[in-house]
């Protein structure tokens, strides 16, 4: 019994850092997925949205925007592709952390 309890505790401790270490890469990927879903709903000609990862800046925020908690703000450039062709845009993504993910994304013409 004690051995099983120790094994469970060790497994939980080993898994905790993996869960806690949510990388910027994962946050940016979640922002890109949220953007694609959001843009697809609003623009029938939308094809894809690609974030230029080398341009992304990350600001730790840890505060409220209105009544929504935001932990990180990602911003940078990306490519918005629609039927008319690709356009370079600037984007901003408000990310609410591991449990909630991106809560707002917006793209502006560059």
| pLDDT single digits (tens) 37-96 | 999 999 999 999 999 999 999 999 889 999 999 999 999 999 999 999 999 999 999 999
Q: Is residue 33 part of a domain?
A: yes
Number of structural domains, the chain? 1
The answer, yes or no, to whether residue 6 has pLDDT greater than 70, is no
Please give the pLDDT value at position 18: 44
Q: Is residue 14 part of a domain?
A: no
User: Phi-psi bin for 85: left (phi > 0), alpha (psi -120 to 50), beta?
Assistant: left
Domain limits for position 95? 23-109
Q: Is residue 11 part of a domain?
A: no
Q: In the structure encoding, which two tokens stand for residue 41, read together?
A: 């709903």
Q: Is residue 63 part of a domain?
A: yes
Query: Which one has a higher pLDDT value, 90 or 7?
Result: 90
0.95 exceeded by pTM: no
Give the tens place of pLDDT for each residue, 9-25.
444 444 444 444 467 78
C-alpha dist (Å) from residue 4 to 1, 8, 10, 14: 5, 6, 10, 15
Give the tens place of pLDDT for each residue, 96-107.
998 899 999 999
Q: Is residue 10 part of a domain?
A: no
Q: Is residue 51 part of a domain?
A: yes
Q: Is residue 15 part of a domain?
A: no
Q: Is residue 76 part of a domain?
A: yes
């Amino acid at each position: 019994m004690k051995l099983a309890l120790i094994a469970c505790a060790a497994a939980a401790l080993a898994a905790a850092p993996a869960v806690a270490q949510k990388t910027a890469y994962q946050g940016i990927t979640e922002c890109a997925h949220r953007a694609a879903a959001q843009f697809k709903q609003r623009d029938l000609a939308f094809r894809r949205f690609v974030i230029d990862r080398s341009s992304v800046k990350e600001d730790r925020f840890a505060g409220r925007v209105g009544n929504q908690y935001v932990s990180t703000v990602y911003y940078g450039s990306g490519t918005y592709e629609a039927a008319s062709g690709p356009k370079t845009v600037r984007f901003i993504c408000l990310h609410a952390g591991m449990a909630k993910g991106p809560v707002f994304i917006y793209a502006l013409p560059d």
